[in-house]
Structure 1
């Protein structure tokens, strides 16, 4: 059974979070542990702040993954990059 995700179907907050993670080589957790900010500087992401809930939702969809053993930093997965580039992905459902 195939699972399909369309970029346009994601809430705008998730779309922006995924784009920010892609532009900035990932996102890092702030000291407060409540938000994620860009990992690297990008002029379009000067004020970008994303909630842990948004990052968690993208992780559940397999669009971002932790860098290392914890979620202190996340990176965009191959599926996330494909979704940004094509607007749609189809993958075999794992559960």
Structure 2
């Protein structure tokens, strides 16, 4: 599978998924975490996206070129959209 992100097309070497539901510090938690590893001929990049079904928001970050940075909401949505098209999303996201 390939993802187009950061104006480049990169090969996905690994996608991991984690579903978190329950109560934490008296607050309801319902989210999915996606961990994506991308490879290019010269680098490996790691992306994590948290899909919060209660707040209806995406939070993402990435490690690339030895630095950690945040992903914009639009970048998270675009990655999730591409994962949906490849049938890699575990739960329907309606926001």
Please report the TM-score for the alignment, with normalisation by the length of structure 1.
Answer: 0.32
Larger radius of gyration: 2
Whichever structure has more strand as a proportion of its residues is 2
Whichever structure has more helix as a proportion of its residues is 1
Please report the TM-score for the alignment, with normalisation by the length of structure 2.
Answer: 0.32
